[in-house]
A and B are shown apart, each in its own frame.
Chain A
């Protein structure tokens, strides 16, 4: 078992997300069950905002509620907040006159944190380096993990094009599982869509391969029986939006070859991409 003292002395470097783990194993001592004081919370907030400052339209630790994540008892850092705040204030008092960390300017806060984390010149890192790194990890987690809000993740472009998808919605991309087959009139394939909602937008695509010129007409039939024809000429990859909207997404979507001219060819794969009325349709999609 990694006890607290040996862990701190061991000086975990780098992977502070992982470093949360041994902290989580230690139950709080009775005197650590108290919540952080106002000063401690203000100091933690100042540390987090120095780690990831916001402003000028860019979200930071404040906007992503980093403090709430840092003091969440599940992450195990909370029992050590009082000690790391004292460590920081003691250092500030020693090096910057009789002040506390929260009283410093943003630039000085950054300098002080660099000193305590051994990043500034030849400064020796604090005994509590692992706690500083854990606070940094949790600050980043709140920002990049999309937990308290999606502001940080949205800023960096994550998650991807799925914004607005509803849980249990049928929305998503589906591909055939019963192909490939020779491209011939009557050849067919079915995609079974699961999930809820009526189709608000739908794209269909098919991959046809051949050694020579080929033309084909492929009919997509929705679960409600309506259909739309796709024209294919030569090898095609990609898809197009089709007007089979309004009906239920769930069910069997069928592709059938209704015309074929030219060289022998293979129908390799076809696919559907759906969005439904359950989703927020503002989400982008490639």
Chain B
């Protein structure tokens, strides 16, 4: 999802354009650029953060301009591919969202006419096409060019010879006009404008607009004026964005299947690892904090089982201050924001020790991604709730993908087995959906277990031991109930002393090699009178004899079970916190990304 903003007014355009870009950040991007018309046309663009761009800007003066954030989907994110694009003479700048379907034909024609192309993008052919029609009237040139174009577009265009003017057009890619006294705006989304005006006109397909400080002229592609009344925006950003859900956390839990789809996209068939040669690594070290650390702990089992490579997990703030063994593991750093101070410090430490580093994060262009040798993004979309939900699952998905690739590269994983694992990986969105469909029942169980609880214990074994830890963390974070997780085998070494009939126990007992052991652990707890909520596998007829209540997840290879099980535990924690009227999206004392050490 790319973002466009355009401005024609009397103030300096640059700060307004940069602010607008930041408000479009949530759409995701990997490169950004600005064009300002003042004395001539000035363009600055680069890949990465808007902050990168800001750092390079010499003060650009001019009261007209446009800016763009690009999210490369095919074609690499790079400085040259970033928008705005220009014509042969650097007089015209164009920002474009959408796809020009007939760009190859256009490009061949324009090249035959002598136009020189600098990039492989479809957008650049549109810039040259407008140039070929330009005879002193930008509006006319854009109109003629659009008659030759097939595809979707939202565009903004400026020309050095026509300061004070921005021309926009849309077809199947949103654009909205903002109107204020003495200035006009164009943006792909309302939030980019809200700081400057609440008066907007939505453009429709096959419409053009000419922005000048005096006002916006809306026309159709034949040049006939279109009249449409401006609308007043009355909503606030936060209300709108919850999309009918009571809390961001619940919205984000329900976005988990989508997060998995996006994270898998194009990577199951072939995972690109930025040239990082995983077959060279003799071991893997996973380093992270908080929820991401729990993903790292699950990762240890994933790497050992799928890639058959030794793996260990460490808390970032601990790893940084250890001496470090002589081996050189591949260090995988996990952080949702990519800004976690301790994880960043750990990345630097890993590199100092001569290790290759791979980072898993959700925010494009984050500090961690700049620090690491390679980055795999989780593509879970913006997460606003402080308690991590969909991003935890997306982190697991990336770990499965890396382990698969590593197993294939190292020859420890056969083709047939890999194909079977890929099929299971592809089925995970459905497995999560099956859990989401059980929400009404989980809500009822939250009432039974969570209403009056002061403490709660989570138990699991093997790959679901860290999942139990994550379940306990979720409950602590948002419901303020004291919750602890134990490896079920450790119960008899101490914690059993804490179990009474008033402490609910949540036990993960899916169908895996530890199932029998888990069942006897549940029996031990049962004997102390605690009420037990078990998470088991669909079709399990034995478990109800040992546990008081049961939430089931679809049958799958045990190594994948953390995905649906963790979602069940998120829903459980959410509904407990909701019953207890806790400020779910902003728990006390906690911040979304911890940028202090």
Our verdict on whether A and B bind, yes or no, reads no
Report A's interface with B, CB cutoff 8 A: none
